[in-house]
């Protein structure tokens, strides 16, 4: 599982190799049994460390989840912005953003489950910090919808709701991916990109 658990360069900002390994096994453990169902002992064992050695890097399990969540969200925003950089036509931009996000959530569904579904397990302070980045990700989608509406290319009842719908469309893939229904991430991403463009009232194809 390790090879595909997270995007290759996700932990690049983390200097310590041990810490990078802990972040990856943390994703694997939390994705399978949930944050509350995982013990620090489980995580140490998966990483081949003693509980004391784990403690050197993460004094609590919540701090490990916070690092996963913080870095996961930040890198997701960076990758999304990079995918959409220079793509200004609203139709092409929606297609690009949704395809990118859909493919990411198919390929790295375990990471997706942890960062999206374990959010309530963070302390209020840590959650508030992550939510700032979540809102920026939402805004990337919402602003793109708004730009298309302003140009008369898209027609929706409510820009914010349509932005959330774009996000749901690509994000929910991390829930069902791997439960049967085998697919190519790339093909699914292309199909979803077309659905997204049509959803906003733009002419399809």
Interface ranges with a copy of itself (CB under 8 A)? 32-38, 113, 116-117, 119-121, 131, 155-158, 160-162, 164-165, 167-169, 171-173, 175-176, 179-181, 183, 188, 190-192, 194-196, 198-201, 204
Nearer to a copy of itself (CB atom), residue 83 or residue 173: 173
Three-state secondary structure of the chain? CHHHHCCCCCCCCCCCHHHHHHHHHHHHHHHHHCCCCCCHHHHHHHHCCCHHHHHHHCCCHHHHHHHHHHHHHHHHHHHHHHHHCCCCCHHHHHHHHHHHHHHHHHHCHHHHHHHHHCHHHCCHHHHHHHHHHHHHHHHHHHHHHHHHHHCCCCCCCCHHHHHHHHHHHHHCHHHHCECECCCCHHHHHHHHHHHHHHHCCCCCC
Nearer to a copy of itself (CB atom), residue 37 or residue 48: 37
CB of 202 to a copy of itself, least distance (A): 9
CB of 82 to a copy of itself, least distance (A): 24
Nearer to a copy of itself (CB atom), residue 71 or residue 193: 193
Nearer to a copy of itself (CB atom), residue 70 or residue 175: 175
CB of 9 to a copy of itself, least distance (A): 27
CB of 106 to a copy of itself, least distance (A): 12
């Amino acid at each position: 599982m390790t090879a595909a658990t997270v995007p290759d360069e996700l932990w690049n900002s983390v200097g310590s190799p041990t810490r990078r390994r802990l972040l990856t096994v943390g994703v694997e453990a939390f994705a399978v049994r949930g944050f509350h169902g995982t013990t620090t002992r489980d995580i140490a064992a998966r990483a081949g460390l003693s509980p004391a050695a784990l403690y050197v890097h993460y004094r609590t399990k919540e701090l490990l989840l916070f690092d996963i969540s913080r870095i996961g969200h930040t890198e997701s925003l960076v990758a999304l912005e990079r995918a959409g950089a220079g793509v200004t036509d609203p139709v092409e931009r929606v297609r690009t953003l949704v395809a990118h996000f859909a493919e990411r959530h198919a390929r790295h569904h375990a990471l997706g489950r942890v960062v999206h579904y374990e959010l309530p397990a963070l302390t209020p302070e840590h959650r508030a910090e992550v939510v700032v980045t979540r809102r920026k990700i939402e805004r990337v989608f919402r602003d793109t919808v708004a730009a298309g509406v302003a140009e008369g290319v898209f027609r929706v009842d409510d820009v914010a709701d349509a932005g959330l719908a774009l996000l749901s469309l690509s994000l929910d893939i991390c829930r069902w991916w791997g439960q049967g229904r085998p697919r190519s991430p790339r093909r699914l991403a292309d199909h979803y990109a077309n659905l997204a463009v049509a959803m906003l009232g733009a002419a399809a194809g």
